[in-house]
Amino acid sequence: MFRLITGIPGPSGFGSASTAEQVTEGIDASNLTAIVTGGASGIGLETARVLALRKAHVVIAARNVEAANEAKQNIRKENETARIDVLKLDLCSIKSIKAFADDFNALHLPLNILINNAGVMFCPYQLSQDGIEMQFATNHLGHFYLTNLLLDKMKHTAKSTGIEGRIVNLSSVAHVHTYSEGIRFDDINDKDSYSDKKAYGQSKLANVLHANELSRRLQEEGVNITVNSVHPGLIMTNLMRHSALLMRVVQVFTYILWKNVPQGAATTCYVALHPKLKGVTGKYFLDCNEFVPSKFARDEDLAKRLWDFSNKLVNAAQIA
């Protein structure tokens, strides 16, 4: 907490006050291709901008293609040589995710970095197009399925180039505030006991568990791909549109804990690009430093159960 408030750097040399540009200074990513989900606004946009600034080829995956194309043009105004593509992706639709993966593969690009950034937060109870509670469907299941669809491409890229692939899941410190059982496998769609805050925490816990289990599986295979999860910090973005008034009241009393967008994108960019993290996998990062997540997030059996549960949901959605 002291480092968070003061911005004093941690063991990595960076801290809560560090920006995405600062943590990637001097890094040449010209031989890398990255996908950033939700890259049309907020910290996703800043992540895409900084990756492009470091010369990576960036694919912005976004539900709102018009906004994504506007973001692309704004990045190019600042950086004329930026390599940016835009593809449509709606993470609450299994059909849209499959279409995105097909569209990306049709570009015949390598894939070195996948940043699972997009999400929804504190939204009222609703179901996704596939009949799954919206926060769990968008924040976790959509990224789970997307990652699985792109994994072969990442494995091939890592093997053919010898360059380590990196997958980054954006979680949140909110993963500690979930339902009593952690993940509600038997009541994922229960409306009567739905809590928008706990459902969000559940989905963010799932992001950490997904990263940990995928990391374990890739290590068993001997694949040159790391998988980590990050907490970007408290940032006022469009993600909070369902609770903007509440968040602004909270912000008044906790203003010293909040970050701006460049600071919010720092941990993502650090984990995605920094050479210090070569070979580091299955970890949770906060303020560009390793941090110990909740007990649930460290539960290997829970992670394995979530993996199987997620596969069942995806398979059921494909059949429907």
Give the contacts of 179 (CB within 8 A, at least 6 positions apart).
Answer: 195, 198, 201, 202
d(CA 259, CA 61): 24
d(CA 163, CA 136): 32
Give start and end residues of each alpha helix (H) in the chain.
2-6, 20-23, 42-53, 65-78, 94-106, 134-135, 142-161, 196-221, 244-253, 261-264, 266-273, 300-319
Active-site residue among 125, 179, 194, 284? Answer: 194
Q: Are 270 and 277 in contact (CB under 8 A)?
A: yes
Q: Which helix (H) or strand (E) holds 37?
A: strand 33-37
* DSSP summary character for residue 234: B
Give the contacts of 248 (CB within 8 A, at least 6 positions apart).
Answer: 236
Strands 113-116 and 83-88, bridge-based pairing: unpaired
Closest CA to 25 of 225, 275, 228, 233: 275
Active site residue 255: no
For the chain, the straight-line distance linking the first and the last C-alpha, in angstroms and rounded, comes to: 47
d(CA 77, CA 97): 30
Residues serving a catalytic function are 194
